[in-house]
Every structure is written in structure tokens, then in C-alpha cells.
Amino acid sequence: MSCLFCRIVVGEIPAAKVYEDDELLAFKDIHPKAPLHLLIIPKEHIESMAALEDRHAPLMGRMMVLAQRLAAENGSPEGFRTVVNTGRVGRQEVYHLHMHLLGGPEPLGSSASF
Ligand code: AMP
Ligand code: ZN
């Protein structure tokens, strides 16, 4: 299996997991750009937002709902930023769909922008 995030899903590569259910996994970004920087991923290998199908709509909805819950539970109750980079133009580096969740106790600095 060559996909980095698929290997994290199955436990072949360690990650600082903060949430897991049947469909979703959230873990700390290895190079955080904000006091709180999590990645929320589907366990299913979907390359990017460009590969989404109609059947993925509920899954994407769950990712959004989970983002606000994890922000509140992890020290960012007063707001956060979500980013999904897509494809070459979107500067996507890891081709397994992921949502960046950036937050912290204070307003984010420019290093938290993408
Ligand atoms: P993107 O540019 O949206 O594809 O971002 C990929 C993100 O994955 C970057 O913010 C990396 O720091 C992060 N990343 C890469 N490898 C790992 C890893 N092993 N564990 C956690 N985060 C990672
Ligand atoms: Zn994958």
C-alpha cells in the first residue's frame, strides 16, 4: 500500500490520533501551522475533492460536523479555519482527501494560511 494516509488508517505508520470512527479519522498534522492543526480524513481512499462522487455527500457533511466538534474540544471554541487543498493547482501534497483544521486560543497568524 503506497498511500501515506491509508497506511495511517491501518496503523502501519504512527499518528497522533484524536478521533476515530467507522468512516473518519482525525490526527495531528506532523508540521503544525497553528496551535491546533488537525487533519480529518475519510478512511476510504479518495484521492482528492476532484474525485468526489454523489455518494460521498454524507461523508463530506460528517467531516464538516466533526471539524467544529474537534475544534471546540481541542482548545479552539471561538473559531477555526478549514482548508482542503485539491490537485496541483491547489498545492495538494498528499493524494488522500484531507481537511486541515486550524485553530488556537488566539486569532490565527499568517503562517496558518495556505
Ligand atoms: P496538503 O498540502 O494539503 O496535501 O497537506 C498535507 C499535510 O500532511 C501537510 O500539512 C503535512 O504536514 C501533513 N503530513 C504529511 N505526512 C504526515 C504524517 N506522517 N503525519 C501527519 N501529518 C502529515
Ligand atoms: Zn489513501
Instruction: Note the pLDDT tens digit of each residue in 56-105.
Output: 999 999 999 999 999 999 999 999 999 999 999 999 999 999 999 999 99
What's the pLDDT score for residue 90? Answer: 97
Active site residue 56: no
88 within ligand 1 shell (Cβ under 6 A): no
- E-strand ranges in the chain read 17-20, 24-28, 36-42, 81-83, 99-103
Instruction: Report residue 34: phi and psi, to 5°.
Output: -160, 160
> pTM, whole model, 2 decimals?
0.97
Tell me which ligand sits closest to the C-alpha of residue 15: 1
Domain ranges of the chain: 4-103
CB of 107 closer than 8 Å to CB of 36: no
Question: What CATH homologous superfamily does 4-103 map to?
Answer: HIT-like (3.30.428.10)
Tell me which ligand sits closest to the C-alpha of residue 96: 2
User: 30 CA distance to ligand 1 centroid (A)?
Assistant: 6
User: 38 CA distance to ligand 1 centroid (A)?
Assistant: 10
